[in-house]
Copies of this chain bind each other. A is one copy, B any other.
């Protein structure tokens, strides 16, 4: 009988792992580079495994334990094509359950209760649990989705800065700062955009929030637009007696003041973080609970 569970939060900025016993006590933690399975599958696999190895080391467990643990890996894009199955096969754990980042986020935030979560980091994704049934939306990646993601905020900033450079749209202190960072050279902005992964674009999100808080018009426009997208997505999931909305991820706090009043009124502190959700699910699998498999 397996005795150890590993929960892994495979995020767009880093992978975090924790090893726990059958009762959910965390024995060790690990961290490695990002997982962006759609844009870099091999690198993502390396980082997922490295974060697990580090958690086992942190727990003082021998390296070969990795082949004896039951793991839950939550990662954006796990619902796309056969990625979950491919990742599952490539991982060295005894059992691998590859689920969406949204599922582990919901489990961490709500435990086993009903409610809606929105997670805002490099990507953005929403999930609801209503009468125990799960429904997820968003999380399609920043090229054709993730309207409130850090990656989209950064991409929007670059686009608005180039429009300001061309004098097609107004400039602002924020677009001036962005252009100055590239020596005032739009070609270098374009080169950055073409060489960049979602995480690189998302690196500009804090700057956009900072300038929006100071009233910079371009920054305010970008954030308001993203906050509208959040509102539309929450409205698509909410039901009249929904007890709670939890906002998660690095951009949750910055977005709070920009939300509509009807959503602010439902905001609840998450019970635990995304990694905690992965640990919870991994422990449930270890205990033989199969109900948590529903995902999408």
CB pair A143–B193 under 8 Å, yes or no, is yes
Cβ < 8 Å to B, chain A residues 189-205: 189-191, 193-194
Kindly state whether residue A259 has any CB partner on chain B within 8 Å.
no
CB pair A193–B144 under 8 Å, yes or no, is yes
Name the distance in Å between A277's Cβ and chain B's nearest Cβ. Answer: 22
Give the residue of B81, B162, B236 whose beta carbon is less than 8 angstroms from that of A187.
Answer: B81
Interface code A150-164, partner B: CB below 8 Å = 1, 0 otherwise?
Answer: 000001001100110
Kindly state whether residue A167 has any CB partner on chain B within 8 Å.
yes
Name the distance in Å between A150's Cβ and chain B's nearest Cβ. Answer: 15
CB neighbours of A193 from chain B (8 A): 140-141, 143-144
Kindly state whether residue A233 has any CB partner on chain B within 8 Å.
yes
Cβ < 8 Å to B, chain A residues 111-141: 137-138, 140-141
Complex Cα distance, B80 from A257, in Å, reads 39
Complex Cα distance, B155 from A168, in Å, reads 22
Kindly state whether residue A269 has any CB partner on chain B within 8 Å.
no
Name the distance in Å between A272's Cβ and chain B's nearest Cβ. Answer: 26
Q: Copies of this chain, how many? A: 2
* Interface size, A (range): 20 to 34
Cβ < 8 Å to B, chain A residues 19-65: 38-39
Given contacts A138-B166, A143-B155, A168-B236, 19 further A-B contacts (CB under 8 A): A38-B190, A39-B194, A77-B190, A80-B187, A80-B190, A81-B187, A81-B188, A137-B166, A137-B167, A140-B162, A140-B186, A140-B189, A144-B159, A144-B162, A144-B189, A144-B193, A145-B159, A163-B232, A168-B232
